Amino acid sequence: MRLAAGRRERALDFALLLPVLALLAAFLLYPLLYGLDLSLSRTEGLEVTGSVGLAHYARALFGDAVFRQGLVNTVLLTAAAVVLQTGIGLGLAVLVSETRRGQAVFRIAFVAPFVLAPVAAGTVWKFLFAPFFGIVPSVGGALGLDLSTFAPLSDASLALWAVVVVCAWRFAGFSMVVYLAGMQSIPHELHEAAELEGIGPFARLRRITWPLLWPQTFALTLLTTIGTLRVFDLIWIMTGGGPGHATETAATYVYTTAFRSVDVGYAQAMAMILMVLIVALAFVEYRLLTPRVEAAAA
Amino acid sequence: MTTRPGIRPATIAVAVLAVIWIYPVIWTLVNAVRPTADLYRGPLDLPIPPALGNLADAWNRANLGGALLNSTYVASLTVAGALVVAIPAAFTLTRLRPPARAALFLLVLAPLIIPTEVLIVPLFAIYRNLGLINSLPGVALVNVVFSVSFATVILAGFFRRIPQDLIDAAQLDGAGRLALLRFIAVPLAHPGIVDVGAIVAVFAWNDFSGALVLLQRPGVFTAPLALTTFSTFYATDEGLRFAGLAITFLPPLVVFLLLQRRIVLALTAATAR
C-alpha cells in the first residue's frame, strides 16, 4: 500500500515535468526526426520527392570543398574563441579584482558588449573594420600613418581573425564575471601565505588562482565551444560568409544552402554533421577536463 | 607587501581596457545622431550639432514603432512561456522526487547543445505546413525552446536554497504540488524569477536567426530584422541604421543597467555547477 502510494507520489512529481517534456518533444525531437528524414531525402523545395540514402552525407564530407572549408573555419574559430575568451576573461578578472574602486563600472564596461544585439555588434564592427573611415585608418591617420586601406573583413587572409576579435570582444566580459565569482571563493589566506613566502604575483596566479579556477574554466570552455560552433548572426551581418568563403562557417553555409540555393535535404545533412561535431567536441572536452575539475574541488 | 599610495597600475590598465571595450558600444549610441555623410568623413569626431532628425527618420523608414511592438510581444510571450514550463520543471527536479531525476535534468539541457541550424529547416517546413510562418507566437515558441534549459538551470539554483523543512511541513499539512509552487516556490524564489525573466527577455529581444527564417513579411518584423531593411532598401543610409540600432539597443541596455549586478550573479550561479 505504501509502495503504491510512493509510486503515485513520484508519478505526480513527474507530472510537473510534462510541460517541458511536451515542448521538447514537439519542438526539438520532432524537428530532429523530421530533419533526419529530410537529410536522407531528395527534395524539391520543401517537398520530399524520394530517398537518396546517405548520398547527401557523402557529398558533404567528400565532395564539397566549401563545406570542408566551412568546417575548418568553424573549428579554427572555436579554438581561437575558447583560448581568447577564457584567456582575456581571466586576465580582465585578475586586473579588475586588483582594483580597489570602480569595480562595478568596469564590470559594466566589459559586459555591455554581451548585451548588445548581435545585429548591432556586427554592424558596428563592419564600420570599425572598414577601409578609409574605419577605426584603424582613422587612428593611424591621427598618428600620421597611412593605414587607409586596412580592411580586414574584405581581406580573405584576415577576415576570419577579424571575426575572432569581435567574438572575443563580445564574450570575454562574460568569462570575466564567471572568473571573478570563482576568485571570490578562493581563501585570502592562501594568497597571503604565498606572499609571505616571497612568491610573486605571476607565480601565485599560475600556482594558486589558475588551478583553483578549473571548474570555471571547464564551464566556460564548454559554453564557448557550444556557442561558437553555432555562431551565425554575427558572421551573417559582418561578412555573409565572404569574402569568397573565407569566413564561411558550417552554420552560414547551411543557411545559404537551405534558403538561397533551396537545396533543403543537402543543407539538413550538413546541419546533422555539425550537430554530431558539436556533441563529439563537447564530450571530448568533458572527458578531458573533468579530472582536473575534480582535482580542484578536492 | 608594500602598499602603494595613489592609483595602482592595475587600475590604470583596467581603465584603459574598459574604455577600449566600451568604445564600440558608445560609438553606436553616438552615431545615432551623426549625419550619414560624417560617418565617412570624421568617424571619431563628436557629432556637433547632433542630427536628431536621424532618430525620427530611422523610426519612420524602418517602421520601428511597429517593429518594437512586435519585439515586445515576442519577448513577453517568450518570458511567459519559458517561466510556465521552467518553474515547475526546476522545482520538481530540485525539490521533489520524480523518477530518473538526473537523466531528466540532462534531457532538459539538450537544447543547449543542439545547434539552431539543425532545427531551423525542419521547423520552417513544419511551420509552413501549420501556417505558422509570419506568426509572432510561433517565433516565441522557438525562443522558449532555446531558453528553457538556461531558465531551468538558474531557477534550480534558487529553488535549492529553499529549506526542505518548509516543503516537508507544507506537504504534511496537505499542500498539493501546485500549492507548493504557488505559495512556497514562486514567492521565495521571486528574485530569481525576475532575473530569469530579464535574461530571457534580452535574449528574445536580440534574437536574429530564428526571426530571419520564420518571419518573411515586413509587417511582422521584429526590431533586429527591421534594422536589416536599411541595408537592402536604403544602402547608403548607414547613419539611419545606427539611429535604429541605438533605439533598439536602449530597452535591453536599461534592463541590464538596472539589474546588472543581479543578472551577473544569476549567470555565474548557472555556470558555477
Three-state secondary structure of chain A:
CHHHHHHHHHHHHHHCCHHHHHHHHHHHHHHHHHHHHHHCEEEECCEEEEECCCHHHHHHHHCCHHHHHHHHHHHHHHHHHHHHHHHHHHHHHHHHHHCCCCHHHHHHHHHHHHHCCHHHHHHHHHHHCCCCCCHHHHHHHHCCCCCCCCCHHHCCCCHHHHHHHHHHHHHHHHHHHHHHHHHHCCCHHHHHHHHHCCCCHHHHHHHHHHHHCHHHHHHHHHHHHHHHHCCCHHHHHHCCCCCCCCCCCHHHHHHHHHHCCCCHHHHHHHHHHHHHHHHHHHHHHHHHHHHHHHHHHC
Query: CB-CB: which of A178, A180, A251 is closest to B115?
Result: A251
Is the pLDDT confidence value at B270 over 70? no
Q: Which amino acid is at B167?
A: I
Which candidate, A165, A67, A171, places its Cα nearest to that of A112? A171
Question: Are residues A126 and A13 part of one domain?
Answer: no
What is the DSSP secondary-structure string of B2-21? ---SS--HHHHHHHHHHHHH
**Residue A236 resides in a domain:** yes
Tell me if chain B has a CB within 8 Å of the CB of A229: yes
What is the number of domains present in chain A? 2
Do B203 and B209 meet the contact criterion of CB atoms below 8 Å apart?
no
Question: Are residues A8 and A67 part of one domain?
Answer: no
**Residue A49 resides in a domain:** no
At A36 the pLDDT is 94
Question: Are residues A154 and A273 part of one domain?
Answer: yes
Lowest-confidence pick of A39-48, A148-157, B245-254: A148-157
At B2 the pLDDT is 47
At B267 the pLDDT is 66
In chain B, the percentage of residues whose pLDDT exceeds 70 is 89
Beta bridge mates, A42: A50
Please give the average per-residue pLDDT across B157-177, as a whole number: 86
B91 contacts in chain A (CB < 8 Å): 16
Place of cell 570602480: A102
At B133 the pLDDT is 93
For residue B158, give how far its alpha carbon lies from the nearest alpha carbon of chain A (Å).
Answer: 17
Beta bridge mates, A44: A47
**Residue A183 resides in a domain:** yes
Range ranked top by mean pLDDT from A220-229, B141-150, B174-183, B225-234? B141-150
**Residue A209 resides in a domain:** yes
Question: Are residues A65 and A25 part of one domain?
Answer: no
Place of cell 519612420: B60
For residue A157, give how far its alpha carbon lies from the nearest alpha carbon of chain B (Å).
Answer: 24
Question: Are residues A146 and A31 part of one domain?
Answer: no
Write out pLDDT tens, residues A167-177: 999 999 989 98
At A2 the pLDDT is 46
Q: Give the contacts of A179 (CB within 8 A, at least 6 positions apart).
A: A89, A90, A93, A213, A216, A220
Q: Give the contacts of B109 (CB within 8 A, at least 6 positions apart).
A: B149, B152, B153
What ipTM did this prediction achieve?
Answer: 0.84
Write out pLDDT tens, residues A163-200: 999 999 999 998 998 888 888 878 888 888 888 888 88
Do B264 and A111 meet the contact criterion of CB atoms below 8 Å apart?
yes
At A276 the pLDDT is 92
Q: Is the bond leading into B49 cis (omega within 30 degrees of zero)? A: yes
Question: Are residues A268 and A170 part of one domain?
Answer: yes
Write out pLDDT tens, residues B93-145: 988 888 888 889 888 888 888 888 888 889 999 999 999 999 999 999 999 99
What is the DSSP secondary-structure string of B31-43? HTTS-HHHHHH-T
In chain A, the percentage of residues whose pLDDT exceeds 70 is 98
What average pLDDT does chain B have? 84
Distance CA B192, CA A59 (A): 48
Query: CB-CB: which of A16, A31, A106 is closest to B88?
Result: A16
At A79 the pLDDT is 92
CB atoms within 10 A of CB B29: 15
At A1 the pLDDT is 39
**Residue A213 resides in a domain:** yes
B127 contacts in chain A (CB < 8 Å): none
**Residue A127 resides in a domain:** yes
Per-residue pLDDT band for B1 (boundaries 50, 70, 90) equals very low
Question: Are residues A154 and A245 part of one domain?
Answer: yes
Question: Are residues A269 and A128 part of one domain?
Answer: yes
At A298 the pLDDT is 62
Is the pLDDT confidence value at A234 over 60? yes
Tell me if chain B has a CB within 8 Å of the CB of A285: no
At A168 the pLDDT is 93
* CA A210 to chain CA centroid, nearest Å: 22
The pTM for the full model equals 0.85
Lowest-confidence pick of A48-62, A143-157, A253-267, B231-245: B231-245
Domain of residue A266, residue span: 56-297
Question: Are residues A66 and A186 part of one domain?
Answer: yes
Question: Are residues A4 and A105 part of one domain?
Answer: no
Please give the average per-residue pLDDT across B245-250, as a whole number: 86
What average pLDDT does chain A have? 86
Query: CB-CB: which of B41, B208, B256 is closest to A115?
Result: B256
Lowest-confidence pick of A70-84, A182-196, B159-173: A182-196
What is the CATH classification number for the domain harbouring A184?
Answer: 1.10.3720.10
B40 contacts in chain A (CB < 8 Å): 132-133
User: Where is pLDDT greater, at A37 or A223?
Assistant: A37
**Residue A44 resides in a domain:** no
* CA B177 to chain CA centroid, nearest Å: 30
Write out pLDDT tens, residues B220-246: 999 888 887 776 544 557 778 888 888
Please give the average per-residue pLDDT across A278-287, as a whole number: 87
Beta bridge mates, A47: A44
The CA-CA-CA angle for residues A112, A113, A119, to 5°, reads: 130
Tell me if chain B has a CB within 8 Å of the CB of A295: no
Question: Are residues A194 and A281 part of one domain?
Answer: yes
**Residue A51 resides in a domain:** no
User: Where is pLDDT greater, at B85 or A47?
Assistant: B85
A279 contacts in chain B (CB < 8 Å): 113
At B272 the pLDDT is 54
Is the pLDDT confidence value at A110 over 60? yes
At B236 the pLDDT is 54
At B269 the pLDDT is 65
Beta bridge mates, A43: A48
3 state SS of B219: helix
At A266 the pLDDT is 95
Distance CA B58, CA B228 (A): 12
Distance CA A23, CA A18 (A): 8
Question: Are residues A216 and A181 part of one domain?
Answer: yes
At A155 the pLDDT is 84
The CA-CA-CA angle for residues A208, A212, A218, to 5°, reads: 140
Please give the average per-residue pLDDT across B194-208, as a whole number: 89
For residue B65, give how far its alpha carbon lies from the nearest alpha carbon of chain A (Å).
Answer: 18
